[in-house]
Amino acid sequence: MKKPTNVGIRELAAHLGMAISTVSRAMNDRSEVSAKTRKKILDAAEQLGYRPNQSGRSLRSGSTKAIALTMRTDIGRSTAGETFFMALSEGLQSALADAGLDLIILPCASDQDENQFLYRAVDRKLADGFIISNVQRFDPRIDYMKKWHVPFVALGSSETPGDYAALDLDFAGVALRAVRRLIDHGHRRIALGLTAQETNNNYVFLEGFRRGLGEAGIEFDDALVLRLHDRISGGYELGSALLAMDVRPTAVVLIQETMAMGLYQRLGEAGLQPGRDLAVIGFRENPVCRYLTPPLTSFRIDLKQYGVRLAEMMVSVLEGMTIPEAQSTLTREVWSMDIVPGQSDAEPVR
């Protein structure tokens, strides 16, 4: 069998004895075509196996009907990252599909420049809109998108000024509530585990942490803030660092829940028990952490709904670009999270 010659709109029109413009209209559900003509065309299209060519379509219309989501392949890999993007995509893709949009994920390997990677995709007009993940505190990509007026929403907040849509988890609120909770339990000396990257989340989380301490009149001690690899081994190192301190903290708050695994491990090796000898609160609820002993106290978010909301915002931005009046849709939104109490943050022993 030879490679089948793909039937184009021209062949289909010829086969029907109609003009290609009519066929096009029928395929796009436009109103200028009568119902019975449309049916005839759609039937013939089905029968001949005609599918509109996306290249021709987007060349002419200037729209790809696709949304791109950037994803670093080396971030939060040991567990958090993948479950995050997968669970997010579940809602995102589904909701975008309802709006007639495809979702494509653009994975960026660690040996590539993340900014150039996006610029290239944007310049080549790979998608109508872009969702930028792993946003930095001041992110040049945001400036780029604004400069060239390409629709985007930032997945994560940033200090880059200007009007644009952004969606983020409430890092500040989580840190604040975690500290409050620990203080309520009687802790006074609380450590903080951040990641090593210069992401905005770290900054915001630290802000919330400090505010929590300030509320209770506890002096902030910079030596208790540790920056670690965003993986299990980072948690292990965190444990070592805590154990090596002259006067050990009685509690620690983690910005990345998978660190808890390494931390648990390190504590166990030292004969210490999480929750009894050191209170631990993680960030995002993660199946892994529920199966730790003791279960990790963390915060819950429905990532699927989060993805749906992300899709809504993207669609809204897209409409805002085409429909001139609706400029007010560029909101920065923060989703608060619910605490999931575990057994890992009891009162301190003395």
**Taking the complex as a whole, how short is the minimal distance between the CB of residue 2 and DNA, in angstroms?**
15
158 binds, options DNA, a copy of itself, none, Cβ within 5 to 8 A by partner type:
none
Number of H-type helices and E-type strands within the chain: 13, 12
Task: Check residue 345 and report its DSSP letter.
Answer: B
Instruction: Provide the residue count of the chain.
Output: 350
Pairing state of beta strands 129-132 and 152-155?
parallel
Distance CA 14, CA 32 (A): 20
> Which of DNA, a copy of itself, none interacts with 109 (beta carbon under 5 to 8 A by kind)?
a copy of itself
d(CA 197, CA 220): 22
Is residue 9 at the binding interface for DNA, with CB under 7 A as the rule?
Answer: yes
Give me 270's structure tokens.
């030292």
Site membership for DNA, residue 321 (CB under 7 A)? no
Q: Measured from the CB atom, is 36 or 124 closer to a copy of itself?
A: 124
The first and second tokens of residue 137, run together, are: 């505190």
What's the start-to-end Cα distance of the chain, in Å?
Answer: 80
| By the rule CB under 8 A, 36 interacts with a copy of itself | no
Residue 27 within binding range of DNA, rule CB under 7 A: yes
Specify the DSSP class assigned to residue 80. H
CB of 242 to a copy of itself, least distance (A): 17
By CB under 7 A, residue 294 contacts DNA = no
- 342 dihedral zone (left: phi>0; alpha: psi -120 to 50; beta): beta
Query: Which lies closer to DNA via its Cβ, residue 9 or residue 92?
Result: 9
| Binder of a copy of itself out of 293, 305, 322, 336 (CB under 8 A) | 293
DSSP string, 148-190: TT--EEEES-----SS-EEEEE-HHHHHHHHHHHHHHTT---E
Sign, CA torsion 171/177/180/182: negative
Which of 14, 28, 56, 140 touches a copy of itself by CB under 8 A? 56
For a copy of itself, the binding residue among 286, 297, 298, 316 (CB under 8 A) is: 286
Q: Residue 82, Cα to own-chain centre: how many angstroms?
A: 11
Q: Give the separation between CA 3 and CA 264, rounded to whole angstroms.
A: 58
Complex with DNA: residue 59 or 196, whichever CB lies closer: 59
| Residue 59 in contact with DNA, rule: CB under 7 A | yes
Taking the complex as a whole, the smallest distance from the CB of residue 221 to a copy of itself amounts, in Å, to: 29
In this chain, which of 16, 27, 91, 205 binds a copy of itself, going by CB under 8 A?
Answer: 91
Q: How many CB atoms lie within 10 A of CB 74?
A: 12
Residue 330 touches which of DNA, a copy of itself, none (CB < 5 to 8 A by kind)?
none
Report residue 9 as tokens: 């709109």
User: Is residue 147 close enough to count as binding DNA by CB under 7 A?
Assistant: no
DSSP annotation of 86 reads H
The residues binding a copy of itself (CB under 8 A) are 1, 3-4, 51-56, 58-59, 64, 68, 71, 73-74, 77-87, 89-94, 97, 102-112, 120-121, 123-126, 147-149, 231-233, 261-262, 264-265, 268, 286-288, 290-291, 293
The residues binding DNA (CB under 7 A) are 6, 8-10, 17-22, 24-25, 27-28, 31-34, 37-38, 50-53, 55-57, 59-62
